Every structure is written in C-alpha cells, then in structure tokens.
Amino acid sequence: MKQYTVNGKLTLVGKAWEIRHQLKLMAKSSSKGRTLAGKSGRTLGDYLRSSAD
C-alpha cells in the first residue's frame, strides 16, 4: 500500500483491505489522544503534518 500527502490531502493507494486496515490504525492512534470530554486530541490535518516531517 502507498500513502501520498500533497497539499494537506491524504491519498491511499492499495487493495481495499489494506486501505481499511490503515484507516483503522489511523483512527486508533487518534483515539488514544481523546480527552474525557470526547474531543479528539488529533485531527487528520495534525496527522498529515506530523507524517510529512
């Protein structure tokens, strides 16, 4: 599977099960940062900026 980030947009290329798996991993990693108020600790934009570094 390949992952491209261009201009803050994420593009996943691969088989359907690979993309689903990657999205689940991304959702799981972002849910670890959730606060008790239910607010997400990390947005997709935050994830993209950190992965571009």
30-51 pLDDT, tens digit per residue, is: 776 655 445 556 677 777 777 7
Q: Model-level pTM greater than 0.85?
A: no
What's the domain range around 25?
A: 2-52
Please, what is the Cα angle at 6 between 8 and 28, to 5 degrees? 55
Band of pLDDT at residue 52, cut at 50, 70 and 90: low
Q: Are strands 9-13 and 2-6 parallel, antiparallel or unpaired?
A: antiparallel
> Count of domains in the chain?
1
